[in-house]
Amino acid sequence: MGNRVITFGTFDVFHVGHVNILEKCSQLGSELIVGVSSDALNFKKKNRYPVYDEYSRLKIIKSLKFVNEVFIEESLEQKRHYINYYRANILAMGDDWEGRFDDLRDICEVTYFPRTPSISTTEIIEIARKL
């Protein structure tokens, strides 16, 4: 059986950095499961609500050809539960999270990918504000 890969993120104002990481994650296995942060979790994490609500963000991620399953991530602390529930054997994240999830190595492989340079949701919002 192929690897089941899981990753997490807000994926607000979808951009090519998001495509790149999801594509890289999908190349690690045969199934890619994506936890999309809830609006409430995003507020806790980044102190602002996303531009697109959780249902829109989930719908966008679900529509991608290299994504097999999606769900709303309600809490950062429940990663262990989600990994077990979705029977994932690889957790892959962008390297802005480097080292943060190493404690999960007892239940799965943990990999961090380099971020795509020079693009982020925050930066896109800043640029749009100035227009």
Give the Cβ contact number of residue 60 at 10 Å.
Answer: 17
Q: Which stretch binds ligand CTP (CB under 6 A): 14-22, 26-34, 67-75, 98-106?
A: 14-22
Asked whether position 17 contacts ligand CTP by CB under 6 A, the answer is yes
Instruction: State the nearest-atom distance from the C-beta of 54 to ligand CTP, in Å.
Output: 12
Report the residue from 96, 102, 103, 126 that binds ligand CTP according to the rule CB under 6 A.
Answer: 96
Q: Which has the closest alpha carbon to 36: 70, 3, 2, 77?
A: 70
Backbone angles phi, psi at 108, to 5 degrees: -160, 170
Contact call for residues 33 and 70 (beta carbons, < 8 A): yes
Asked whether position 38 contacts ligand CTP by CB under 6 A, the answer is no
Transcribe 25-88 into DSSP letters. Answer: HHTTSSEEEEEEEPHHHHHHHHSS--SS-HHHHHHHHHTSTT--EEEEE--GGGHHHHHHHTT-
Window 110-129: contact mask with ligand CTP (x via CB under 6 A): -----xx--xxxx-------
Report the residue from 4, 11, 64, 67 that binds ligand CTP according to the rule CB under 6 A.
Answer: 11
Q: Residue 1 or 18: which CB sits closer to ligand CTP?
A: 18
DSSP structure class, residue 105: G
Using CB under 6 A, count the residues that bind ligand CTP.
17
Contact set with ligand CTP (CB under 6 A): 9-12, 17-18, 21, 46, 93-94, 96, 115-116, 119-122
